[in-house]
């Protein structure tokens, strides 16, 4: 069974993906980390604006070396959405994602284009969302708890900018797949959101 989970930043999709993966004992890939890792490589080279350099970084990405802790910063979220708008970067990351999804038994993948582009035939598709204010509050708490010097207003501005960039881009924009179930987590705590996600998956498998 493939479970495809998409949605905007800090919608709760990552938490739900992790919990669904644990529940069904499936491997999980947070595809945002791929774009974050490409962005980190480009920033280290001082070449975020260099499209061929970002494609080269994407081609050489090694899943086993990704460090989620180091990659989940506000600055890399922003830089990731810049490299993620490039067709060549997305193309270079396709094969790796397809191979992950093709594991025997299935997999859980979360991102922006899993149900639409990466795994259009996934058995269960969720589109997880929440209001920008709720998402900013969640992301602010998460970043602040890790000691990032950041304000709520800056996080909200970043989320709005990323929503706009991810939704407006020409290649694999953030859109809900026609056959995805919409899950708005604005009013839900984690146990309630997980129960709702589980009910959706159970109804589809
Ligand atoms: O989900 P996360 O915040 O880690 O994603 C960082 C950025 O990577 C997103 O803003 C988006 O631009 C990009 N991304 C994407 N497609 C995915 C996952 C992430 O374009 N499947």
14 is in an annotated binding site: yes
One CATH from 3.30.70.3040, 3.90.1330.10, 3.40.640.10, 3.40.50.300 for 2-204: 3.40.50.300
CA gap 131, 129 in Å, rounded: 7
7 is in an annotated binding site: yes
What pLDDT is recorded for position 205? 87
Q: What is the pLDDT of residues 40-84, one digit of tens each?
A: 999 999 999 999 999 999 999 999 999 999 999 989 999 999 999
Which residue's CA lies nearest to atom 2 of ligand 1?
Answer: 32
As a three-state string, the secondary structure of 64-79 is: HHCCHHHHCCHHHHHH
pLDDT by position in tens, the chain (length 205): 999 999 999 999 999 999 999 999 999 999 999 999 999 999 999 999 999 999 999 999 999 999 999 999 989 999 999 999 999 999 999 999 999 999 999 999 999 999 999 999 999 999 999 999 999 999 999 999 999 999 999 999 999 999 999 999 999 999 999 999 999 999 999 999 999 999 999 999 8
What pLDDT is recorded for position 93? 98
Distance 203 CA to ligand 1 centre (A): 27
Which residue's CA lies nearest to atom 1 of ligand 1?
Answer: 32
State how far the alpha carbon of 98 is from the alpha carbons of 66, 75, 147, in Å. Answer: 18, 28, 35
The tokens describing 84, both together, are 């993620």
57 is in an annotated binding site: no
State if residue 7 touches ligand 1 by the CB under 6 angstroms criterion.
no
CA gap 31, 112 in Å, rounded: 8
- The domain locations on the chain are 2-204
């Amino acid at each position: 069974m493939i479970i495809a989970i998409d949605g905007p930043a800090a919608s709760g999709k990552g938490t739900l993906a992790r919990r669904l993966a644990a529940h069904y004992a499936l491997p999980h890939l947070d595809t945002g980390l791929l774009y974050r890792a490409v962005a980190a490589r480009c920033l280290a080279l001082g070449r975020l604006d260099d499209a061929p350099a970002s494609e080269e970084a994407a081609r050489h990405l090694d899943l086993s070396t990704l460090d989620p802790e180091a990659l989940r910063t506000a600055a890399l979220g922003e830089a990731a959405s810049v490299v993620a708008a490039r067709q060549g970067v997305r193309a270079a990351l396709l094969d790796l994602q397809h191979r992950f999804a093709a594991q025997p038994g299935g997999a859980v993948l979360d991102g922006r284009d899993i149900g639409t582009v990466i795994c259009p035939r996934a058995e269960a598709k969720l589109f997880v969302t929440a209001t920008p204010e709720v998402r900013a509050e969640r992301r602010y708490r998460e970043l602040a708890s890790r000691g990032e010097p950041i304000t709520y207003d800056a996080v909200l501005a970043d989320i709005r900018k990323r929503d706009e960039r991810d939704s407006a881009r020409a290649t694999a924009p953030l859109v809900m797949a026609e056959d995805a179930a919409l899950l708005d987590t604005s009013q839900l705590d984690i146990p309630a959101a997980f129960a709702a996600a589980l009910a959706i998956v159970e109804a589809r498998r």
